[in-house]
Chain A
Amino acid sequence: MAGNSEGGVGMDPMHQFEVHPIIELPALAGIDTSFTNSSLWMVLAVGLSGLFMLMASSRTALVPGRLQLMGEMAYGFVANMIKENVGTEGMRFFPFIFSLFMFILFCNMLGMLPYSFTVTSHLIVTFALAAVVFSMVTAVGFIRHGIGFLKLFVPSGIPAVMVPLLVLIEVISYLTRPVSLSVRLFGNMMAGHTMLKIFGGFVVGLSSAGLVPLAIAPFALMVALTGLELLIAGLQAYVFTILTCIYLNEAIHMDH
């Protein structure tokens, strides 16, 4: 929802996704480290979620106050998700999964602010997160089960003729997990924000053409869509996290 409504760029629904440097920094080992608008909103998401959780956990009262309760609810939400989907062994990964959930949730939610930048609307970011999850899950699988982890790709109780085909399908479905995981989040974020921008463009265009009554319909739709997008922002953070739990459960317990 970034960008301004003046001039041609304001009407470009993809303009909001542009990354531009705020502070140029020297490349580090051949990698551009410039502080961009994307970096700014990442820092804000991490800063706000970190600050929120630090403040929420600074009081350790027996009967929690409002902020403490919110922090404990976030903790309990992710902890229960892991316990239900992975079991108690999964609690070793709780810090990572909790950070993942809070990071995605805050990036998505901050992206709903007008003129902000949605970090998770960039495939490279979601793919990096998904790749970390995928590598972690695969590593856990091989560490726990050794080479026996490969049995995950051989479904039980099928005719021997079908085995090669099904193993191929299983391997492909396993390898495409990071893609589906990252594209789901990225696609939801990008599509939602693009749609909001397009309807916003209608409202502005119709109003500036003097057709204010006609702008009411897209405006109403935009209000409704904003609510929907808020839901999606929370939901996608949840989906990403729960899929991580499900993959982790499979790697730990290998029950297909």
Chain B
Amino acid sequence: MPQLDPSTFGSQLFWLLVCFGALYLVMSFIVIPRISNTLAARAETVEGDLAEAEKLRGQAETALKAYEDALAEARSRALNLAQEMRAEVQAETDRQKAELDSKLAEQAAAADAALMKSRDAAMAGLKDAAAALVGDVIEAIGSDKASDGDIKKALDSVAAE
């Protein structure tokens, strides 16, 4: 078995030391730092991108919330405005109605008063005519001349019955 020939051991060990030592130096001083730097840079970039994406997502959410807030405020303002308008219109209508009512009541009262006045006048005229008629009748019958005051009193008492 050639593996058990000690005369080859020296050379094999010597070259193993040289070769493995060279490989170790190349790996530990060139290859591994390079690759670990590349991997670290890649991890950093990916992490940075993720953080950036997260930040942008946060901004988008804030913007959406602001938009929704603005929308809700606008809606409530519109509602308030509509209510105010309605109340104003209602007040105006009420006011006009009240004005119209009072005007109508005034006119009605005036008409009523005029009616009463003309009725009173008519009644007074009627009383005078009745008194004149009663005077004429009394004169025609030829009895004592009755005073106007007496006649009117008599008529009033009759009218009161």
- Rounded to whole Å, the gap between the CB of B45 and the closest CB of chain A is 6
Interface set of A (CB-CB < 8 Å, partner B): 14, 17-19, 21, 27-28, 31-36, 38-39, 42-43, 45-46, 49-50, 53-54, 56-58, 60-62, 64, 68, 71-72, 75-76, 94-96, 98-99, 102-103, 119, 121-125, 128-129, 186, 190
A125 contacts B35, C-beta separation under 8 Å: no
With a CB–CB cut-off of 8 A, which chain B residues contact A98? Answer: 27, 32
Of B7, B11, B20, which is within 8 A of A103 by CB? Answer: B20
B31 contacts A36, C-beta separation under 8 Å: no
A57 contacts B31, C-beta separation under 8 Å: yes
Interface set of B (CB-CB < 8 Å, partner A): 1-5, 7-16, 19-20, 22-24, 26-28, 30-32, 34-39, 41-42, 45
- Rounded to whole Å, the gap between the CB of A232 and the closest CB of chain B is 18
10 closest A-B pairs by CB: A95-B28, A39-B15, A57-B34, A32-B10, A19-B8, A31-B10, A42-B19, A46-B19, A53-B31, A60-B38
Determine the residue in chain B with the shortest Cβ distance to A30: B10
B30 contacts A54, C-beta separation under 8 Å: yes
**Interchain CA distance A56-B31 in the complex, whole Å:** 9
- Rounded to whole Å, the gap between the CB of B73 and the closest CB of chain A is 46
- Rounded to whole Å, the gap between the CB of B151 and the closest CB of chain A is 134
- Rounded to whole Å, the gap between the CB of B66 and the closest CB of chain A is 36
With a CB–CB cut-off of 8 A, which chain B residues contact A28? Answer: 14
Determine the residue in chain B with the shortest Cβ distance to A27: B10
Of A49, A53, A72, which is within 8 A of B38 by CB? Answer: A72
B3 contacts A38, C-beta separation under 8 Å: no
B34 contacts A60, C-beta separation under 8 Å: yes
Determine the residue in chain B with the shortest Cβ distance to A21: B11
With a CB–CB cut-off of 8 A, which chain B residues contact A124? Answer: 3, 8-9, 12-13
Of B2, B13, B27, B41, which is within 8 A of A17 by CB? Answer: B2
- Rounded to whole Å, the gap between the CB of B17 and the closest CB of chain A is 8
